[in-house]
Each structure stands twice: as structure tokens, then as C-alpha cells.
Amino acid sequence: MRLKKPKEKEPPKLVMEPMVDCVFLLLIFFMVANILKPTLPFSVELPDSKSREEYVRKKFNVYINANGQMSVDDQAMRDYDALEDYLLPRVNEIETLMIHADKNTKHGDVIDAMERAKHVMIDNIAFVLSDEEIE
Amino acid sequence: MYEESQAKAAIIARKSRREPTVNMTPMIDCVFLLIIFFMLATTFSPLPGMRVKLPPPSQAQSQTKPEHFILNINNPEAGEAEGFMQLNDREVNMVDLSANFMAGTEKQKETLIIRSGRRVKHEQIVTVMDKAKRAGVKKIGFAMVASAF
């Protein structure tokens, strides 16, 4: 009997292509869904509240610190005119203007910022609260 | 001469018959690193907030109808954290503010208008808004002075 000569063994191959496809899809998903936390030029300690609504995190958040310094995301704003000029071309992208005001911020500063937002036809405004829910 | 080169070419062709492969491993390493970065940096948790309403500019001064709650908050005195408050011209403090809101009529609970001094802390405003919301007040607005900026 003539035995068949065993075939030369090829090294086992790992099929990478489907995994690479999945990985790329995941990468694209995270890149699109990602909103990076802005690095603020100052610190803001948000007030607490038991009653709260939930909002989707989006771009163009206004930050006001205890001394009245302002920024939109990581862009520091010199004054209220600068804030208004910055918001004006981006009005269509802002559904609700989220104001992150420090708990020690003077109410007058918050009102001024809201007034400027209203001036550029942003009607939906919300104050952002601290993440930790108080008991 | 020609034949010799032909033979050489044939040998080369035989040697390089193996299929060309693209080495994917370093790329996959990089892509995985990127994925891990984006997964860690992405925040999907919603942002807790509190909606506020602003009166239309023409009504900025006229929102003083007595059928709504109107809360006046004075600027805090030197050394004090909170400003003195008056709800519909009656003096109130933070402790019994909730009870005052709850005791209001349905009509009053529709809207609360906060008229606050400029130096009042944002925290006090948010605390008042919190108490009002939990007492069933539907809309909270701020009285503004129309400024000519």
C-alpha cells in the first residue's frame, strides 16, 4: 500500500481582518461619541440640589467661577461682549445653554451671562448641578 | 546571455512565489491604544441640571403680578452668607421657605419669579429653586433689569 505523503504543515494563521474591522468600527464610534472634558482655566465648584433634570453632555458650556471669570468650554472669555460674540455664530448648535456657575458666584454675574444668551436668542438655559446627589 | 538571464528570472520567480502579506500587528496595537483612550475619555453620564426661564425683554419689569410667587432676595450683609428674603412681601427664611411654597395656591405655584440682588451667591438661588421645585412650583424665572449693553 502506498501511503500518502503527509502534506507539509503550514504554520497556523490567525485571521485578523474581521477583528480589525470591528476594532475600527469601535474606534470610529468612540471618536464620534466623544466629548472631551475641557481643561478649564479656573476651578468651578457646582452647587447641590435634590431636584434635578438630566441633560445630554454637549459642547459649548458656559463656566463662571466665584470671581466672575468666564469661559465657554476651555476658551476663556474676556468679558460679556466676548461671550456674546462667541455664542452668536454657534447659536444653532446650542439646544440648551448649560451654565456651570460656582456656588459662590455672584448672582449678578450669572444674570448677566443669561442676559447675553437671551440677547443672541438662546431661550433654553439650565444651571448645572453637582454630580453628587445630596441626601 | 539572454538564456542565462531568463533562467535567473525563473529562479527568482520561484523563490518569491509566497503570497505577500501585510503585517497588521503594529497597526492593531495602535488602534487598540486609541480605543482604550477614547473609551476612558468618553463620558456618557448625563449632566444634572435645572432649567430656568427668562422673561421676554418687554416683560422684564412687568412680572410683578401678585398671583405668582415673587421672591425678593437682598444682597447679603457683610459677614453673612445668605441674603434676607421676602416672599410676596412677607419675610421668610430658608427653613420655612418650602412650607411657604407648599401653602401657596395652585395659581401661585405656576410661576416663581426671583428678584435677587447682584451679590447674592449662586448657591442660595439654587437652594431656593430646589425648594420651589420640590414644593411643586412649575416655572422659575428671574426678574431682570433691561440693561443697555
Cβ within 8 Å, pair A81-B149: yes
* pLDDT tens digits for range B91-114: 888 888 888 888 888 888 888 888
Tell me whether A9 touches chain B (CB under 8 Å). no
Contact yes or no for A32/A52 (Cβ under 8 A): no
- Which of B2-16, B63-77, B104-118 holds the top average pLDDT? B104-118
Portion 58-77 of A in contact with B at CB < 8 A:
none
User: Is the pLDDT assigned to residue A9 strictly greater than 60?
Assistant: yes
Q: How far is CA A102 from the centre of its chain?
A: 18
Q: Does B138 touch chain A (CB under 8 A)?
A: no
pLDDT digits (tens, 9 = 90+) for A30-77: 888 777 777 787 888 888 888 888 888 888 889 998 888 888 888 888
Query: Cell 468666564 sits at which residue?
Result: A70
Predicted model pTM: 0.71
Question: Measuring CA to CA, how many Å separate B40 from each of A30, B65, B68?
Answer: 10, 51, 47
pLDDT of the residue at B2: 63
The tens digit of pLDDT for each residue in B34-62 reads: 989 888 887 777 788 888 876 655 444 44
DSSP H helices in chain B: 2-15, 25-41, 97-102, 122-134
Question: For the sheet containing B85-87, what is the strand order?
Answer: B90-92, B85-87, B69-73, B111-116, B139-142
Nearest residue in B to A50, CA atom: B130
Give dist(CA B40, CA B25) in Å, integer. Answer: 23
Contact call for residues A128 and B48 (beta carbons, < 8 A): yes
Percent of all residues in chain A with a pLDDT value above 70, rounded to a whole number: 93
User: pLDDT at position B106, please?
Assistant: 81
The class level of CATH for B69-143 reads alpha beta
pLDDT at residue A7 is higher than 50: yes
Residue A24 Rama label (left phi>0; alpha psi -120 to 50; beta): alpha
